[in-house]
Amino acid sequence: MNHRPIEGFSKLSKQKKIDWLISEYLSNDRSYEQILQQYWNNDAALQKMHDEFSENTISNFYMPYGIAPNFLIDGKLLALPMAIEESSVVAAASKAAKFWIDKGGFKTTIINTEKLGHTHFIFKTEAHKLLHFFNFKLKKKLLRTTEDITKNMRNRGGGILDIKLIDKTAELEDYYQLKASFDTVDSMGANFINSCLEQFGKTLKEEVAKEESFSQEEKDSFQIVMNILSNYTPECIVRAEVSCKIEDLKDESGISNEEFAWKFKQAVTIAEIEPYRATTHNKGIMNGVDAVVIATGNDFRATEACAHAYAARNGKYSSLTHCTTDNGIFRFWIDLPISVGVVGGLTNLHPLVKFSLALLGKPSAQELMSILAVSGLAQNFGALRSLVTTGIQKGHMKMHLFNILNQFGATEEEKQHFVTYFKDKTVSHHEVISELEKLRNK
């Protein structure tokens, strides 16, 4: 079928959008309309709010919202909200939390909270001349012309921390940056940072045009390319860690404490040196991080981008977690760059986000950073613990069992049969199908 483009799709009502999609792409099969409508909220006001979160919305896409209890973080016992569809993530996090609760729990340290943004511009001039202009005239003017924008943030203890001129001409001809650092306190701060940067761009353009030390030819070459925050925030970083005596590393799989510690450390070291393993290793960390990021109304795409850029900061992609087993002490930690907020955005709108933040004791942005790092560390501990003992499939596939059974329309009686059947076996897709056929043939 040759589909036709449409003008003004965004201006159509929700129903007309659905009608067009069904007519144009779904062979006029109205059963698809029922699929969309069954996920609408019965509360019209709540549904309208969800519709306005994004553009061209026609339904809601649900994800499971689970709870991982027993997290002892800096002396506080917390239950973490996790929005994620992947089998076993919440279970693994909960199991790791329980493992560490009687060993002192998780300890965290906020290393820094600095966020970054840049004004990118092209300017055919001598670098030393531009630097002199920046140091003696421009920097003060940039701070002065953003005072109205930063007033409220400064009253809360944040604001612009510094502005630097960065010479990037060795990498791109005539390319310079204004690199600004910010403290946005309890907000993620994207709109605040971008507003400041756009004002920097305006002020820079005006001041260059007025500056007598630049020739007209130089002024004509000046061009702002863009003003935008960076989601790479290597100076907005939190450390989460666990530690105990190796003799206390009791594992239910039956291997000795010493073997468990040795194999665990080897697994982390492999992720530190081998990018193929590090990618999957860090993906598991982000299972734990993203689930709480989504549940608290933050931007998991920014979180992912930052974490993976940080993992490659030394020129080779590597593990975000690290482990030592020195002097009879097992220590496992993560340094996670992460920029999140607890005010603004969805935090004031989405009911489940409000619930999540209330459940966590209405944390500050720094406290939420700590919680997120702990969630990632716990998830990684749980995954590595399985990998070096029983293997990952035993626990993962057991959680995945109901997904397989639901695909084949299993009854509750059949599901109970399979829970018993796989009590002492590793679940496999092939084995489920085979046993289901036998059961139904009987």
Task: Pull the structure tokens for residue 89.
Answer: 């993530």
Q: Among 165, 79, 172, 76, which Cα is nearest to 128's?
A: 165
Q: Determine the 3-state secondary structure of 54 from DSSP.
A: coil
Please check whether residue 208 is in contact with residue 219, taking contact to mean a CB–CB distance below 8 angstroms: yes
Residue 154 neighbours by CB under 8 Å, 6+ apart: none
H or E element that contains 139: helix 139-145
* Residue 299 annotated in active site: yes
| Active-site residue identified among 24, 86, 174, 235 | 86
Task: Pull the structure tokens for residue 105.
Answer: 């729990």
| Active-site residue identified among 186, 198, 241, 299 | 299
Q: Determine the 3-state secondary structure of 369 from DSSP.
A: helix
| Active-site residue identified among 120, 265, 350, 396 | 396
* Residue 17 annotated in active site: no
Interstrand relation of 236-245 and 321-324 (parallel, antiparallel or unpaired): unpaired
Please check whether residue 271 is in contact with residue 279, taking contact to mean a CB–CB distance below 8 angstroms: no
Please check whether residue 236 is in contact with residue 338, taking contact to mean a CB–CB distance below 8 angstroms: yes
Please check whether residue 222 is in contact with residue 211, taking contact to mean a CB–CB distance below 8 angstroms: no
* Residue 396 annotated in active site: yes
* Residue 283 annotated in active site: yes
Query: Is residue 114 exposed (0-12), middle (13-18) or buried (19+ Cβ within 10 Å)?
Result: middle
**Residues with a known catalytic role:** 86, 283, 299, 396
